Amino acid sequence: MNTPSRGPQHNEGADTCQGKPCPPNLARRVKRHAWAPAWNWFAVCAPGLEGPLFQEMRALGLEPLPAEPDGGGVGFRGKLEAGYLANLWLRCCARVLLRLADFRVRTWDDLVRQARAIPWEVFLPAGAPLRVKVSLKGSNLKHSGRVAEEVLAAAAASLGKIGLAPPGLAASQEPAQAIMVRGVDRRCQISLDASGEHLHKRGYRLAAGKAPLREDLAAALLALAGYDGSQPFLDPMCGAGTLAIEAALLARGLPALGEERDLAMLAWPCHREPTWRHLREKALAQALAAAPQPILARDAQTSAIKAATANAQRAGVAADLAIAKADFFQTPPPAGPPGLLAMNPPYGKRLGSVRQAGEFAQRLGAHLASHYPGWRVAVMLYLPQWLEVLGLRDARTLAAPFGGLKVTLAVGKVKG
Ligand SMILES: C[S@@+](CC[C@H](N)C(=O)[O-])C[C@H]1O[C@@H](n2cnc3c(N)ncnc32)[C@H](O)[C@@H]1O
């Protein structure tokens, strides 16, 4: 889904929406229902990334809520500002949801009552295209179509009550606000997507290599390695540069979200543009002017070098990266003290077969042992047994889904 374009927003301290008078009460309702209360939010992540996401949240000063039984993300509580912060900074997060209702449900009346109690008018732009996504598992509410209809009717009634045009159902590819309804057994949650497009789309990676690593996985691998920019960094098989760019963003303390990226919550009537602008400006003001240690990105392919260079420029970290064409097996390690070598080596089909990929892993392991003693290695593996083949000591791993496969993120020391 694309991020919906911004509609008119309520202006702080005035009863106008972009110069036009607000419907009676909207200004007051925004302050009362959207700005004053703390809400529950849920940061969705790929299954397996909850640990690094939890740590990121703590570091950001957001208070994580107790773990959800099904995982799939980490909840937190806070005002609107917490939602902005999460979207701006959480690198391992897929999207941020605002939990509008979380209740026990036995009958349709329970759903209708809860959906009608939500102050939709402060979150949904009048007349905006809307999508309602319903997932039910073991719920008393058996009919997902009817769930969507009831929630849509509640939202329309809420806007209509103060003279605003109701939201309309979005066409399939149309950018839209998205309501998510999740019914598992007796529990039902109604949420609004605050992010829009998946947050791994930071906005910098327009040039993709052949098998680019998703940005949230790259960030999780760096988090597993405890990378903070204070040590030299090398990705010897950088492809489109994702790992090195994520490393540079981290090293400089720059936010995850690119400057050009839009968010669904920036179109909500309750959006506070001055607060959002302040958070963005503060983030940039606090960032380091340059990465404190070298960040090297190498690849054997000219096309990968071009893509990595273009992406690094768009991310605003080109000056922090030394990008060079080089074959890993024919190039000496960088001069200076050992650091972190992070990579997402080619695998399977690209190498012809899983057996050949295993042989490649063996070659990698031998090369690491002979040329990179003292280095730590962070690697994404398509088969967990390659960890042994690589011969890493004291390895820590994390499994996550990627491209229809379960991949292993591993961090360990080079033997020797
Ligand atoms: C799976 S891709 C890496 C994708 C990258 N992480 C990204 O996000 O775009 C593997 C990369 O390894 C590179 N590669 C393969 N063998 C290499 C070698 N011997 N030396 C350097 N690079 C190599 C390929 O050119 C390819 O770009």
| Whether residue 268 has its Cβ less than 6 Å from ligand 1 | no
212 touches ligand 1 (CB under 6 Å): yes
Q: Which residue has the tokens 């999460």?
A: 86
Is the C-beta atom of 158 inside 6 A of ligand 1? Answer: no
Distance 408 CA to ligand 1 centre (A): 17
Structure pTM? Answer: 0.93
Domain boundaries, the chain: 16-193, 215-253+288-414
Summarised one tens digit per residue, pLDDT across range 335-388 is 999 999 999 998 765 556 777 878 889 999 999 999 999 999 999 998 888 899
Q: What mean pLDDT comes out for the span 317-323?
A: 98
Verify whether ligand 1 is closer than 6 Å to residue 237 (CB atom).
yes
Asked whether residue 118 carries a pLDDT value surpassing 60, the answer given is yes
Report the atom number in ligand 1 closest to the C-alpha of 307.
9
According to DSSP, the β-strands at 20-21 and 16-17 are antiparallel
Any atom of ligand 1 within 6 Å of the Cβ of 324: no
Q: Measured between alpha carbons, how far is 127 from 8 in angstroms, rounded to an integer? A: 11
Q: What is the mean pLDDT of the chain?
A: 92
Q: Any idea which architecture 215-253+288-414 has in CATH?
A: 3-Layer(aba) Sandwich (3.40)
Q: Candidates 3.90.45.10, 3.30.2130.30, 2.40.33.10, 3.40.50.970; correct CATH number of 16-193? A: 3.30.2130.30
Distance separating alpha carbons of residues 312 and 306, to the nearest angstrom: 10
- Say yes or no: CB of residue 209 within 6 Å of ligand 1: yes
What is the 229 CA–ligand 1 centroid distance (Å)? 22
- Report residue 237 as tokens: 């098989």
In the predicted model, is pLDDT for residue 248 greater than 50? yes
Calpha distance 328→333 (Å, rounded): 9
Q: State if residue 351 touches ligand 1 by the CB under 6 angstroms criterion.
A: no
CB within 8 Å of 375: residues ≥ 6 apart: 333, 338, 339, 340, 341, 368, 413, 414
Q: How far is the CA of 184 from the centre of ligand 1 (A)?
A: 42
In this prediction, residue 19 has a pLDDT band, given cuts at 50, 70 and 90, of: low
